[in-house]
Amino acid sequence: MGWVGTHPIPSHDVIEANEQEPRATKEEPRLCTPNLTLRLLRLLVGITAFLFLFYTAGHYPFGWPFPTPLDLLRIASAVVLGGLLGLVFSRFWPLPPTPGLERIFRIFFLLLPALLFGYALQVFSAANQALSLILPLSAWLSSGLIIRLPEEGQNSSAKSAK
């Protein structure tokens, strides 16, 4: 057995010895896996913390108004709404495995509703912060959490041909 930190990693011999016959069980796809939830939470907390520091530090050299708790709540809500929008968008259109034209079109189709939601949030909350840019930024960064595997595109076209 190999060890990484305090967690044992079984060697290949142990895995082969413990393998049984493969069971033909159909697993239900989950909307949000625990790993994805933690990655999204970590991303949203990081974006929010950066923006809190940005607006707080901008008060001193640039003379911006010091952010009140309501301002920080507006920033956090824009980040969370953008993150959820990006996650829902990536469930329907996952990030392609290779760079190309599809990624460019995907970004445009994501940013149009994100900008509209950002402008609406900015107008309805009467914020001094750039919520109309924070929400699309958060949506764009969180939309890269789900990546389509190269085999998925090939299998779907092969299945549709049959």
Q: Is residue 121 part of a domain?
A: yes
pLDDT at residue 161, rounded to an integer? 52
pLDDT single digits (tens) 59-78:
889 888 888 899 899 999 99
pLDDT single digits (tens) 106-135:
889 988 989 889 888 888 888 777 888 889
Q: Is residue 7 part of a domain?
A: no
Residue type, 91: R
Q: Is residue 20 part of a domain?
A: no
Look at residues 141, 143, 144, 145 and name the one whose alpha carbon lies nearest to residue 51: 141
Residue-number span of the structural domain to which 112 is assigned: 33-161
Query: What is the number of domains present in the chain?
Result: 1
What is the pTM assigned to this prediction? 0.69
Token pair for 64: 């911006």
126 φ, ψ to 5°? 50, 55
- The confidence band for 94, taking pLDDT boundaries of 50, 70 and 90, is confident
| Rg over CA atoms, the chain | 22
Percent of the residues in the chain that have a pLDDT greater than 70, as a whole number: 72
Q: Is residue 51 part of a domain?
A: yes
As a whole number of angstroms, the distance between CA 53 and CA 56 comes to: 5
Say how many C-beta atoms besides its own lie within 10 A of residue 132's C-beta.
19
Q: Is residue 83 part of a domain?
A: yes
Question: What end-to-end distance do the CA atoms of the chain give, in Å?
Answer: 45
As a whole number of angstroms, the distance between CA 118 and CA 98 comes to: 29
Q: Is residue 89 part of a domain?
A: yes
97 φ, ψ to 5°? -70, -25
Q: Is residue 129 part of a domain?
A: yes
- Whether 13 shows a pLDDT value over 50: the answer reads no
- Whether 82 shows a pLDDT value over 90: the answer reads yes
